[in-house]
Amino acid sequence: MSAQRVLRTMFRSHVSLVLAAMLVLVAAVAPSSTAAQSILPVVTCTGSHAATWSPGVTNTTALHAVDTETGWSCTQLIAAPLLTSASSQEHFEAPFNCNNLFSTTPITWTIHWSDNGGAATSAFTFSATALPVSGNLVITAPGTITAGRYAGRSATATFTLLNLGATLNAQCSSATGVTNASGPSTLLIL
């Protein structure tokens, strides 16, 4: 056997051995399907929010029926990438006046997800705070996904009610009051 042939045979043996060792190493290091599922995806959503009050909110505190509708386009980052849309339509009653257009008590909204994974929902429980910013009312709603998709995860929604300062000044003292507001919204699930 020539020296060249011996070297080729040894090289092939070593390459085979190295490849086999690499496969074993990859199998040992690669996450199992259970471990892969435990990688927590980050979900970012942008969209719009609209709220209506009936009767219209005035300077006098009264019980109001509130309807909200929020729609988002979402991207799930990390883990398996996923593009989806989400929405939430809610109805509740609470006492409001123009100095307090939102409830600070914890509230739960149902988020409806629409993607190729099939219909799914999340229960999002949050408490809201509002801050006037440049004539807008920015509502921040930190909370937790308490059930359904992403259960146990923290989440924060923001709703910016555009030009609400001017609307409040113009309509709070009128008989009809403030009946609606809308603007952009975000949702972040960590």
Picking from 89, 91, 78, the residue whose alpha carbon sits closest to that of residue 150 is 78
Average pLDDT, the chain: 80
Structure confidence at residue 131 (pLDDT): 87
pLDDT single digits (tens) 65-97: 999 999 999 988 866 667 788 999 999 898 989
pLDDT reading at 147 higher than 80: yes
Picking from 51, 41, 55, the residue whose alpha carbon sits closest to that of residue 88 is 51
Structure confidence at residue 103 (pLDDT): 66
pLDDT single digits (tens) 10-53: 444 433 433 333 333 333 334 444 444 456 679 999 999 999 99
Q: In which residue are the tokens 């008590």 written?
A: 105
Token reading at 3: 């020296």
Cα–Cα distances (Å) from 2 to 8, 9, 41, 74, in that order, read 10, 11, 58, 65
